[in-house]
Chain A
Amino acid sequence: MALKDKLHKLKLKYKDTKMSAAYNAIHTFLYMPNETTHSGAHIRAVDDLKRTMNTVIMSLIPCLIFGMFNAGYQHHLAAGEIQAVSNGFFSSEFWAIDNLVVGLWKVLPLVVVSYVVGLVVEIIFATIKKHEVEEGYLVTGMLVPLIVPIDTPLWMLAVAVIFGVVIGKEVFGGTGMNILNPALTIRAFLFFAYPTWMSGDKVWVHGAVERTNEIAEGAQLDAISGETVLGALAQGKEFTYSVSDMFLGFIPGSVGETSAILILLAGLFLIFTKIGSWRIMLSATLGALAMGLIFNGVVHAEWISESSKFYSLMSTEFWHHLIIGGFAFGVVFMATDPVTASQTNKGKWIYGFLIGFISILIRVFNPAYPEGVMLAILLMNVFAPTIDHYVIQGNIKKRMKRLKLKTA
Chain B
Amino acid sequence: MAEVTEEKVKVKEPKEPLFSKKNKKLLTDPLADNNPITIQVLGICSALAITAQLKPSIVMAISVIFVLGIGNVVISLMRNIIPSKIRIIVQLVVVAALVIIVDQVLKAFAYTLSKELSVFIGLIITNCIIMGRFEAFALGNGPWKSFLDGIGNAAGYGVLLVIVAFFRELLGSGTLFGVKVLGDPIEKTGLYALGYENNGFMVLAPMALITVGIIIWIQRSRNKALIEDH
Q: Is A239 in the interface zone, CB < 8 Å from B?
A: no
Cα A156 to Cα B194 in complex, Å, equals: 13
Q: Is A261 in the interface zone, CB < 8 Å from B?
A: no
Report if A195-B197 is in contact (Cβ < 8 Å); known contacts: A167-B210, A171-B217: no
Judge whether A192 and B210 touch: CB under 8 Å: no
Q: What are 14 A-B interface contacts by the 8 Å CB criterion?
A: A153-B195, A155-B196, A156-B197, A159-B199, A167-B210, A171-B213, A189-B201, A192-B201, A192-B204, A193-B200, A193-B201, A194-B197, A194-B199, A197-B197
| Interface size counted on chain B using CB atoms at 8 A | 11
CB-CB under 8 A from B197, the residues of chain A are: 156, 194, 196-197
Cα A155 to Cα B192 in complex, Å, equals: 13
Chain B nearest CB from A112 CB (Å) reads 18
Chain B nearest CB from A38 CB (Å) reads 31
Contact string against A for B residues 62-86, beta-carbon threshold 8 Å, 1 for contact and 0 otherwise? 0000000000000000000000000
A195 touches which one: B200, B202, B213, B217 (CB < 8 A)? B200
Judge whether B195 and A192 touch: CB under 8 Å: no
In this complex, the member of B197, B202, B204 whose beta carbon has the largest number of chain A beta carbons within 10 angstroms is B197
Judge whether A193 and B195 touch: CB under 8 Å: no
Cα A3 to Cα B195 in complex, Å, equals: 41
Residue of B nearest to A195 (CB): B200
Q: Which of A185-204 contact B (CB under 8 A)?
A: 189, 192-197
B200 touches which one: A153, A155, A167, A194 (CB < 8 A)? A194
A193 touches which one: B196, B202, B213, B217 (CB < 8 A)? B202
Chain A nearest CB from B172 CB (Å) reads 9
Chain A nearest CB from B199 CB (Å) reads 4
Query: A: which residues have CB within 8 A of B?
Result: 153, 155-156, 159, 167, 171, 189, 192-197
Judge whether B217 and A192 touch: CB under 8 Å: no
Cα A276 to Cα B95 in complex, Å, equals: 58
Cα A147 to Cα B69 in complex, Å, equals: 52
Given contacts A155-B196, A194-B200, 17 further A-B contacts (CB under 8 A): A155-B195, A156-B197, A159-B199, A171-B213, A171-B217, A189-B201, A192-B200, A192-B201, A192-B204, A193-B199, A193-B200, A193-B201, A193-B202, A194-B197, A194-B199, A195-B200, A196-B197
CB-CB under 8 A from B202, the residues of chain A are: 193
Residue of B nearest to A155 (CB): B195
CB-CB under 8 A from B217, the residues of chain A are: 171
Chain A nearest CB from B194 CB (Å) reads 9
Cα A252 to Cα B201 in complex, Å, equals: 26
Cα A189 to Cα B210 in complex, Å, equals: 12
Cα A153 to Cα B213 in complex, Å, equals: 28
Chain A nearest CB from B212 CB (Å) reads 12
CB-CB under 8 A from A197, the residues of chain B are: 197
Cα A153 to Cα B196 in complex, Å, equals: 9
Chain B nearest CB from A175 CB (Å) reads 19
CB-CB under 8 A from B210, the residues of chain A are: 167
CB-CB under 8 A from A156, the residues of chain B are: 197
In this complex, the member of B200, B201, B210 whose beta carbon has the largest number of chain A beta carbons within 10 angstroms is B201
Chain A nearest CB from B17 CB (Å) reads 44
Chain A nearest CB from B230 CB (Å) reads 13
Cα A155 to Cα B197 in complex, Å, equals: 10
